[in-house]
Structure 1
Amino acid sequence: MRFAGGRLLRGLLTLWFAVTVTFFLVRLLPGDPALAVADPMMTEDLRMELLADYGLDRPLPVQYVSYLGHLLQGDLGISFRQSLPVTDILMARLPWTLILTGSALLVTVLIGVPLGVAAATRRGGWVDRTIQVGSVLGQSMFVPAIGIAMLYAFGLYLGWFPIGGAIDDGVYGIDAWISILRHLVLPASSLVILQIGAYVLTLRTNLIDSLGEDYCDLARAKGVPQRRIVWRHALRNALLPTTTLVGLQLGFLVGGAVLTETIFAYPGVGRAIFESVGRLDFPVLQGAFVLLAATVVVANLLTDLAYGALDPRVRAQ
C-alpha cells in the first residue's frame, strides 16, 4: 500500500508539473490570441472585450489559479476557434491516438521479444550483429523522415495503403474495421521502427545476464534443453526490467504521435496540438497536453505497480 501511495503521489506531482509548464509555455507563443476568434481589423476596444471574455486580460498568476480550479472540476475550457468545449473536441480524437499508440506498442513487444531472444542466444554471430545494427539505425532515425519515406513508398508510389485519415467515408461493419487497419499500418509502422530498437537492445542485455545466472547453469547440468531454459526461465526474469521500459516508451510514442499524426493527417490528439499552435487556440492546446500527460502518467503508474507485483523486492525499496 505504501509503495502504491508513493507512486501515486509521484504521478500527481508529475502531472501538476506538466500542467504548469504547459500553461505558461503556450502563452509564450508569438501572436495575439484574440485574432483566433475575431477579424484582424477589429478595434482595440473589441479586442480587449474579447480578451476579457476569455479571461486573458487578467495577470498570469490569476489566470493560472483560475485554470487549475476549472481543471480540478474537469473543465478544460472552450475552444477559441470552434466555440466548443475542449473536452468534447479531445474526446472525439483520443480514441484514434490510443488506437495508434496502443497498436504500435503491441507490435513493438510482439516483434521485439523474438528479436531480443534471437540476438541474445546468438551472441556475437551475424544474427546478433544484424539485429543490433538495425536497432541502432531505427533509434537514430527522425520520425518525419520515416513517415515521409513510408508515405511516398507504400502510399503514393506502390499505392498499397491510404495516405491520410483514419477511415474511409461510408464504410460500415467489417469494412470499417478493415479500413481502420489499412489507415493504421503506415503511421503505426513508423512508430514501431522508431521504438523497437530500445526494446530489443534492453531485452538482449537482460537476457544475456539472466542466462549467466546460477539457476540457468543448474538447469543445464540437469539436462534441461536450452530452448526451455531461455523461454521458461531466463526470459521471465529478463522481462522484469523491460516492463519498465514499456511504460517509458509510451511517453516517447505519445511524443512521436504528434509528428506522425500530422504527417499522415491522422485525426488524433497529436494533430489537434499541431492545428492549435497555428490558431493560437490556447484551451485546446492546453487540454491536449494535459490529456496526453495524464495518459503517460497513468501508464507509468500501472507499469510501476505491475513491476512491483512481479518483483516483491521493488516494493521493499
Structure 2
Amino acid sequence: MSIALFALRRLGRGVFTILFAVTVTFLLLRLLPGDPALAIASPNMTDETRAALLTQYGLDQPLIVQYVLYLGQLIQGNLGTSFTQSIPVADVLLQRLPWTLLLTLSALVLTIVIGVPLGVIAASHKNRFLDKLVQVFGVTGQSLFVPSIGIVLLFVFGLNLRWFPIGGAYDEGVYGLEWYGSVLSHLVLPVVSLTLIQLGSYVLTMRATLIDALGEDYTTLAKAKGVPGRTILWKHAVRNAMLPATTLIGLQLGFLVGGAVLTETVFAYPGIGRGIYEAVTQLDFPVLQGAFLLLAATVVVANLLTDIAYGFLDPRVKTA
C-alpha cells in the first residue's frame, strides 16, 4: 500500500471522528444546566427584543434544526458568533490559540528531550539502582493530577520563593526583549506542570520497549560480532524502540490538550483551555463548540501525522 493511500484512509477515519466529536459536543452542551439565552439577553430587554435575539442565534428552533443549521455553518467555515463577546468565534480562538500552542508544544518537546535519555538510562541499567529510581519517578508521574501539581508549584515557586509569576502570560507594560523574557518566565510553571504529568508514562514506555529491543536477536548478533555496546544501544536498539514511542507521542498530544485545559485554568494562562473554562461559566455555546472542534481536529491531525511517520519508520505498517 502506498503512503498516499495509507494517509487517505487514515484521513477518512479522522473526518468521521471529528463529525462524531462535533455531534457529541453539540448534544452534551445542551444538557448543561442553565439557560444560554441569559448570556445574550439582558433582564431589561423587552420580550420582543429578547425573542429577536433568540431568533438571530437560532435558539428558538428545535434541537434537530439547531444541529442542522450548525453543520451548515461549519461546512461554510463559519464557527458562529460568541454570545458574550459578540465577535466571531474564529477570532476568539485565534487570539488564544498561539498561547495554547506555545504551552503544549513546549511541554511535548520537553517530555521527549527528558524522557528518551531517562528511558535509555533505565533500560541500560536494568534492575539496578538507576533503573529502580527512574521507575519510581515514572510511576509517581503517572499518578499526579494536573491541578494538584499546579497548585503545589504555584505555592512553592510562585508565592513562597517568588521565582516565577503566579498567573497570566506576560507582564503588562513591557516591550521588546523584556516582553519575551516575561513570556518565558510566565511559561515555566505551566510547562513544568504539564510535562511532569506526561513524562512518567513516556519514560516507562521508552524503558520497556528499549529492554525488549535489547533482547532481540539482532542485538545479540551485533554483540557476537564485537560491535561496541554504545553503538548497539543508540544505533540499533533506541532506533527500534522509538517506533512505539512515536505512537505514544501522538496519543499524548490528546492528553496534553486535555491537560492544557486544567493547566491554563490553574495558572490563569490565556489559552484555549482557559477560554473553555470561561465559556462554560457563561454558557457561551458557540465558543465551546468551536474550541472543542479545534481540539478534536488537532488530536486527529496529530494522530494522522503519527501514523504516517510510523509508516515511514516501519514499512510493515503500510502492508498490514
TM-score by length of 2: 0.97
1:108 aligns with 2:111: yes
The residue aligned with 1:151 is 154
The residue aligned with 1:310 is 313
Alignment deviations for residues 158-192 of structure 1 (CA, whole Å, 9 cap, x no partner): 00001111112222232222111111110011111
In the TM superposition, residue 311 of structure 1 has moved relative to its aligned partner by 0.7
Residues matched between the structures, number: 317
Alignment deviations for residues 122-154 of structure 1 (CA, whole Å, 9 cap, x no partner): 111111111111111111111100100001100
1:237 aligns with 2:240: yes
In the TM superposition, residue 232 of structure 1 has moved relative to its aligned partner by 1.0
The residue aligned with 1:24 is 27
Match of 1:173 among 173, 176, 201: 176
The residue aligned with 1:268 is 271
Query: Map of 1:48-67 to 2, 5 A cutoff?
Result: 48-67=51-70
In the TM superposition, residue 34 of structure 1 has moved relative to its aligned partner by 1.2
> C-alpha separation between the residues in 1 aligned to 2:234 and 2:186?
35
> C-alpha separation between the residues in 1 aligned to 2:71 and 2:135?
46
Tell me which moved more, 26-35 or 96-105: 26-35
The residue aligned with 1:14 is 17
> C-alpha separation between the residues in 2 aligned to 1:20 and 1:258?
21
The residue aligned with 1:296 is 299
Q: Which runs of 5+ in 1 are unaligned?
A: none
The residue aligned with 2:197 is 194
Alignment deviations for residues 237-274 of structure 1 (CA, whole Å, 9 cap, x no partner): 00011101000000000001001001101000000000
What letter corresponds to residue 223 of structure 1 in structure 2?
G
Alignment deviations for residues 30-65 of structure 1 (CA, whole Å, 9 cap, x no partner): 111111122235555544332112101111111111
In the TM superposition, residue 119 of structure 1 has moved relative to its aligned partner by 0.7
The residue aligned with 1:70 is 73
Secondary structure of the equivalent of 2:170? coil
> C-alpha separation between the residues in 2 aligned to 1:176 and 1:30?
41
C-alpha root-mean-square deviation of aligned residues, in Å? 1.1
> C-alpha separation between the residues in 2 aligned to 1:18 and 1:229?
44
> C-alpha separation between the residues in 1 aligned to 2:316 and 2:223?
27
What letter corresponds to residue 241 of structure 1 in structure 2?
P
Match of 2:127 among 121, 124, 129: 124
> C-alpha separation between the residues in 2 aligned to 1:41 and 1:82?
19
> C-alpha separation between the residues in 2 aligned to 1:132 and 1:184?
28
Alignment deviations for residues 10-46 of structure 1 (CA, whole Å, 9 cap, x no partner): 1111111111111111111111111112223555554
Query: Map of 1:202-217 to 2, 5 A cutoff?
Result: 202-217=205-220
Alignment deviations for residues 179-218 of structure 1 (CA, whole Å, 9 cap, x no partner): 1111111001111110011111111111001101111111
In the TM superposition, residue 221 of structure 1 has moved relative to its aligned partner by 1.4
Secondary structure of the equivalent of 2:260? helix
> C-alpha separation between the residues in 2 aligned to 1:158 and 1:227?
42
> C-alpha separation between the residues in 2 aligned to 1:67 and 1:203?
43
Secondary structure of the equivalent of 1:273? helix
Secondary structure of the equivalent of 2:92? helix
> C-alpha separation between the residues in 1 aligned to 2:165 and 2:231?
43
Secondary structure of the equivalent of 2:127? coil
Tell me which moved more, 47-56 or 84-93: 47-56
Q: Identity over the aligned pairs, expressed in percent?
A: 67
Secondary structure of the equivalent of 1:169? coil
What letter corresponds to residue 245 of structure 1 in structure 2?
L
Tell me which moved more, 116-125 or 172-181: 172-181
The residue aligned with 1:279 is 282
What letter corresponds to residue 153 of structure 1 in structure 2?
V
The residue aligned with 2:90 is 87
